Amino acid sequence: MIRLAVFLGNPGKEYKETRHNAGFLFADYLYPLSSWKMKFHSMFTEEDGIRILKPMTMMNLSGTAVSEAASFYKLKSDEILVIHDDLELPLGKAKLQKGGGLQGHNGLRSIKERLGTDAFYRLRIGIGRPVHGDVRIYVTSPFKQDEKILLSTLFGKMHDVMKDPVKEREFS
């Protein structure tokens, strides 16, 4: 059973609508009326018995927030769901799985280092990979208008994922 859902992104206005903030965008979609407060270096709320974090550290330090919350609530890794952007999935697709490789994602790397394991659940939100250019610039660039529509459609298909977040599945 998932007891902590962590939506990854970078804080700050300059990152608000960027690909790297797909996790934050999905949290805002799912919980538009939540009362958020600062806790564990994060924006924190609780919904339907699940504690929800949006770490306010930069992406590559996300493990700080996750490990603090996991320690405080005495959580096992399989009680944690991390929602994040994924370059390896095309835009408009998502995949829910337990464990798996880090695929160069610095937020996941930080969480693994701080928890000592990568055996947590992940909801990978596809952002696609750039054909040319620097990946770092790509992930911190905003979604284009047509991409926002595709992302919104995907979020609509995933809206009930928190009701059964441990059943591995794909969305498109």
| Active-site amino acid positions | 20
Distance from chain centroid for Cα 68:
17
Q: Distance (Å, rounded) from C-alpha 24 to C-alpha 120?
A: 18
Pairing type for strands 50-55 and 4-7 reads: parallel
Q: Which residues pair with 81 in a beta bridge?
A: 5, 121
Q: Which residues contact 61 (CB under 8 A, 6 or more apart)?
A: 55, 110
Q: φ, ψ for residue 18 (rounded to 5)?
A: -90, 165
